[in-house]
Amino acid sequence: MTTESPRWFKSSYSSNGGQCIEIAANLVASRGVVPVRDSKDPQGPALSVDATAFASFVAGVKADAFRA
């Protein structure tokens, strides 16, 4: 087990409008997960998303697959 702490960052595309998330990509190699949290509540809960699922989500966003 690793004791590595998440290193949180927000996308450079974020425009300080308060509707942002932060991720900690540094845990992919050691734990296989991408923690995700609300940037407005950094002390609040974080979701741990499987790295493969997160990569699929990002690919879907880039492909504009979630537009209604």
pLDDT digits (tens, 9 = 90+) for 6-24: 999 988 777 766 778 999 9
- The mean pLDDT value of the chain amounts to 90
Domain that holds residue 36: 1-41
For residue 26, tell me if it sits in a domain: yes
Q: How many domains does the chain have?
A: 1
For residue 66, tell me if it sits in a domain: no
For residue 54, tell me if it sits in a domain: no
Q: How far is CA 28 from the centre of its chain?
A: 11
For residue 51, tell me if it sits in a domain: no
Does the pTM exceed 0.85? no
For residue 22, tell me if it sits in a domain: yes
Q: How far apart are CA 22 and CA 35, in angstroms?
A: 8
For residue 46, tell me if it sits in a domain: no
